[in-house]
Structure 1
């Protein structure tokens, strides 16, 4: 059973089209139990400032070799470049409203990397997010797809009351509760699989907030198709993968990162904003200060440095594939070793535009450790690659 759903938006968040291809039926494995009553699902999520490592192993995990000349500008610190460590703000889940204890990520979820916790819900549920801003500047949580009142939109703009504006820019140290309803129109359509994916992200300054790292996923399962924890009962493994060129030049923490890791940098040269290759042709891969602050990542990791995504042959695997960011964020996710069916055509490559979300079902039949990467050549060579493993 393989299916896919496309969504993409103009800046005004107008849906252009939904392309759907689905096959099979929603069947559950023995012992699966669906959630039968609407539930209030409460999450305790904070914006935390951390030191993020884009390549924690210090090597190219795709090749198993030390970084070469092409990779070095993106991951190795030098007097005039920052390297692989950056201050960022990320969403982290806590155990309760005291926000004293971070909720440990399950081993199977560590691949999420820079993404916030997956917020699961079933159609008919209510999501309550108790949000604590542990960062040093105002942030928020804005959801896509679900139903909310103005005070839970997570964006402050003309037409908002002073009370509603509080949720659009939560001050450092403050706590705010968002309430999001999950109606039928937030869940799967008639030809969708049993669950679909939406973004959530900070929206005080949409670009700078997300380039700084504040982004996550909401997964909505059809009514009657969810386990008690909100996950779809007809799926064995879920994966959320974000293809994003993080532009650290637009991060709120750029100056901190310069002062900490590259103090000799006094300011980027204007020409560096137009990356050129050795022959002077336009390229996304450059070696100047500005260029090396573009991080071509999957879940915030470069060159396969994220935790290995694992599954078993024959598992019902659901991939939620996302893209975000600026106009360069057109991506072509490609799975080696297994295929998907998109718009009634079998393929192993998808097409993602900025702020687009896709849901893909796969039943892997080919054991091994396989490459998963963006097939845009510049993106792949700059580090947008990961690995997934199918066990026999």
Structure 2
């Protein structure tokens, strides 16, 4: 017997679970399907936890600010401790090039309501004691950004989605097909059942391209491997996420912060990109990123690393998400290609997707969906990817 739903979400990760919660809150009978045994067991658990509205494009700023509001007030609103820490995001500047880039973003960031300023070197040292002072010119700081636990947050969304009594989750099921009739979605098949629905939402992250093939559409999302790590806990001495935009051989930017429990959590952007789905740790990552971090903050040198891991960024050609209706298959929607920013964009995007499905879009939603359209011209990259 085929069970009927109003909407089916494929993927119980950083975008899929918030989307299901928002749909359930609107009374939409929703099924979430995921091949893992529980929510957030794909790429969500590989996220390092940074949450920012500090982007350079209007759509990301809008979504990021809404996500910040949701996550920063979650415990107050819902009672779940998701380890929110308001530490801000700091972009230190040591070269004219980065200064020009960051100052160039300020007008649009402030236009869309982001609390951010370019501050001098003394302020940078105050925010991050021990940062290398030689050559430090200043930088941008956005104090309302922060961090939280991806797994705790995703599980909180999951529990509250169940609490709406409108959302079902089916784990350990692999989607094997998207069923259509005259280019209209009718449901999905899995390795154990068939489900009907007029709407299927692709929240499959790095595997969206494989999912799209079931409906005969090509989704330009490509898995890109990134590694992260965490140290032993030490007494707190800074809270901001520090992002160094300067490139180095084999890498672009890198970033790190101290969690609420005292560990230093960090990641680096490899250059060139490492495409594929191999999530085994490498011997390259730790020496590469540690050298750069210690040069920037020498006091980190004696802290011991406890664990490293490797996850997948679902990358698009221009580093911005894909969201909205598919124009080739009626009833197929996408909220994917978050390019490693699913945790910080997922809550806001979940609400937009729910309004898309229920035909309640706002003007800001339309701006975001236009910027994230699958059918945009992919040129250049987002400035603060």
| TM-score, shorter chain, exceeding 0.5 | no
Select the structure that is richer in strand.
1
TM-score (norm 1): 0.25
TM-score (norm 2): 0.25
